[in-house]
Amino acid sequence: MTQVLPAIIPINKAQLTEEIEKVSHFAELVQVDISDGVFTNTRTWPYNGQDRDYFEKLKIEEEGWPKWEDTDIELHLMVSKPEEVLEDWISTGVASIVAHIEATDDFQKIIDICREKNVSVGLAMKPNTDIEKIEKFVPQVDFIQVMGSQLLGKHGVELDEKSLEVIKSLRMKFSDSIIAIDIGVTEENAQDIISAGVNKIISGGAILNSDNPKEVFKYFESL
C-alpha cells in the first residue's frame, strides 16, 4: 500500500484549520508546506505576517495544531537556511521535517538536529538537482522527496516528466529507500508515478479540490 499525505499550503490559521479538518477523518499524517519568500517566490503563514501570534503560541505549546489529537504534521520547510529555524518548528510538536538540499550548505546539521529531537527527517530535491549531491545523506534520512516541478509553493502545477526520470534513477540506486513525490500528482498520472518507483505520494490540489477528498486519497493509497 502506498503512503499518502494530503498537502496544505497555509495562508493563515483559518485556512490551515479548515483544510486539516477536511482530511483529518481519513489522513493520519498531513504535510504542511511552509514558504519564506526567499527560497520560493511565495510566502505562507507565518512568513506572510498573518497569524504570527499563533505560531508563537505553538512554539511554547500554548496552542496546538488543528486536530492534533487525530492527525500528525509533517512539515515541508521551503525556506532558506532551514537549520536556522528548525528548532523553532520542531518545538511546535511536528512529527516529521522535510528540508531542501538546495536551501542549505549544511544538510548534515538538519539531520543531526532532527535525530537529537527524535523527529523524522526527509530530504527534498528539485528535479534539476544532481543526485550526487544527496548520495551521502540518503542512508541517514527517513525518505527522499522528489519535487514534481522546479516551481514550488503552489497547488495545481503540472508534473515535470524529468521528475519521473529522477525517481527511476533513485530507485535503481537506493532500492530500499522510501521515495516520495510532491507536486503534479493526479488520478490520471498516479499509476505512472508509482511505476517509476514512488512509494509515498504527497498531493494537495488533487485531494483538497476534489468533490470527494477521501475517495481520491483512498485511490492513491490503493496503488
Residue 102 neighbours by CB under 8 Å, 6+ apart: 39, 125, 126, 129
Instruction: Quote the pLDDT of residue 163.
Output: 97
Does the CA dihedral 113-128-37-71 come out positive or negative? negative
Q: Where are the alpha helices (DSSP H) in 66-177?
A: 86-90, 107-116, 161-173
d(CA 137, CA 120): 14
Q: Is the pLDDT of residue 142 over 90?
A: yes
What grid cell was written down for 214?
477521501
The mean pLDDT of 139-151, rounded to a whole number, is 96
**How many other C-beta atoms lie within 10 A of the C-beta of residue 53?**
12
195: amino acid identity, one letter: S
Look-up: residue for cell 522527496? 145
Cα 208 versus chain centre, distance? 15
Instruction: Quote the pLDDT of residue 91.
Output: 98
The secondary structure element, H or E, covering residue 137 is none
Q: How confident is the model at residue 156 (pLDDT cuts 50, 70, 90)?
A: confident
Q: Is the pLDDT of residue 153 over 90?
A: no
Half-sphere exposure of 11 (CA within 13 A, CB side): 5
Percent of the chain with pLDDT over 70: 100
d(CA 51, CA 187): 34
DSSP state of 42: -
Instruction: Quote the pLDDT of residue 9.
Output: 97
Instruction: Quote the pLDDT of residue 151.
Output: 85
d(CA 178, CA 93): 23
User: Per-residue pLDDT tens for 39-78?
Assistant: 999 999 999 999 999 999 999 999 999 999 999 999 999 9
d(CA 188, CA 146): 19
Q: How confident is the model at residue 4 (pLDDT cuts 50, 70, 90)?
A: very high
Predicted TM-score (pTM) of the model is: 0.96
Cis-peptide, bond into residue 46, ω within 30° of zero: yes
Q: How confident is the model at residue 168 (pLDDT cuts 50, 70, 90)?
A: very high
Helix, strand, coil share (%) of the chain residues, nearest 5: 35, 20, 45
The mean pLDDT of 118-129, rounded to a whole number, is 98
Q: Is the pLDDT of residue 35 over 90?
A: yes
Instruction: Quote the pLDDT of residue 155.
Output: 77
d(CA 38, CA 30): 24
The mean pLDDT of 192-215, rounded to a whole number, is 97
Look-up: residue for cell 516520495? 180
d(CA 199, CA 210): 22
The mean pLDDT of 191-203, rounded to a whole number, is 97
The mean pLDDT of 192-207, rounded to a whole number, is 97
Q: Is 48 exposed, middle or buried (0-12, 13-18, 19+ CB in 10 A)?
A: middle
